[in-house]
Amino acid sequence: MRTSTIACIAGSLIAATAFAGPDTTPNANPGKFVQTNNPHTNVGIDAVLTQDDFESYALGGGIQGANGWQGWFSTGADHTVTNAQASSGAQSIQYGTASGDCVQDYQNVLGNMPTSGMVTFSCMSYVASSSAGTGYTILLNNYGQATANCDWSWQISFEGLIGLVGNNLNANPNFLSQPIVYDQWVEIRCEIDLDNNSYMDFYNNTPLATAPTGWFGNGNLFSGGGAIGGVQVACLDMYSDAATDIFMDDVLVETDGAAPCYADCDGSGALNIFDYICFGNEYAAGNAYADCDGSGSLNIFDYICFGNEYAAGCP
């Protein structure tokens, strides 16, 4: 799956009022996604599950063998700890080999990953203008150490050849791409709702994708020939497909106290006229967020649906 190209995504960007229809593949189960433009707002952080700023590793060395990091089924090459770029502190990791593939194994090594509630994954990314190849950041819901049973749930790729970053898992038409921001640190964030088995992700605080129900286990559309896992975050996979000059820092996985409020469109923490303005802008842009009723198209019923959500208020 990691060799899929984002080129097919570039041609499927949503038009102004024509929201691309839901994936009709079995188990896609499209529906309304209860996320806001700033999902961290109104969400109390309960616990940091794991974090890594790469400051504790030897400069010029690798990360495998510490803090749950290992090669992909013990064969993936290590990434390099560098001080050429850093988001915080003085060090980060660099994608610089043709087969660099480091997995942080939550399922089998670190443990204590939740199977319900909200989980947020984030990391900082730096793509130099000199970069080439493709670099991936991936979350799986199953990672079996004994046998290669894996189930992909989320995948971001930096495509150096065409200058795009996007969520290209299964070429789902709801998944978008945008230009890579070069030569500066940019956040990647994935807001995972395990209770509804879906997620929404962001690059540079701009939404990339809304995922149908079923993408974190028990119905993911790509299982890699292996077993589908439970509804969980099993591991992080940082993979290089001949990528050069791509850096990652400040990996963080944390649990959130509650699902964000859909009607709080602008993420301000309060419901007011600005949420209606925000929704109108999302609708005009043809963004998947505006498909309030989950019908697969944008129309007056989405405004009615949003009005009902607004009237119901936030928890």
pLDDT for the residue numbered 211: 63
Fold of 32-256: Jelly Rolls (2.60.120)
Please report the pLDDT score of residue 224 as a whole number.
40
Q: For the chain, how long is the longest CA-to-CA vector?
A: 58
Mind listing the pLDDT tens digit of every residue in the chain (315 residues)? 454 332 222 222 222 223 222 222 222 222 222 222 333 333 344 578 889 999 999 999 999 999 889 999 888 999 999 999 999 999 999 997 778 999 998 888 887 677 778 899 999 999 999 998 999 999 988 887 655 677 788 889 998 888 889 876 655 555 668 899 999 999 999 988 888 777 888 899 888 876 655 555 544 433 343 445 667 888 999 999 999 999 999 999 988 755 557 888 877 778 999 999 999 988 998 776 787 887 768 899 999 999 999 998 876
pLDDT of 187: 96
Query: In angstroms, rounded to a whole number, what is the distance separating the alpha carbons of residues 281 and 183?
Result: 29
Phi/psi at 119 (5° precision): -125, 135
Question: Distance between CA atoms of 233 and 268, rounded to whole angstroms?
Answer: 28
pLDDT given for residue 262 in this prediction:
80
Alpha-carbon span 167 to 6, nearest angstrom: 8
Report the alpha-carbon distance of residue 21 to residue 310 in Å, rounded: 25
Instruction: Give the pLDDT score at 135.
Output: 93
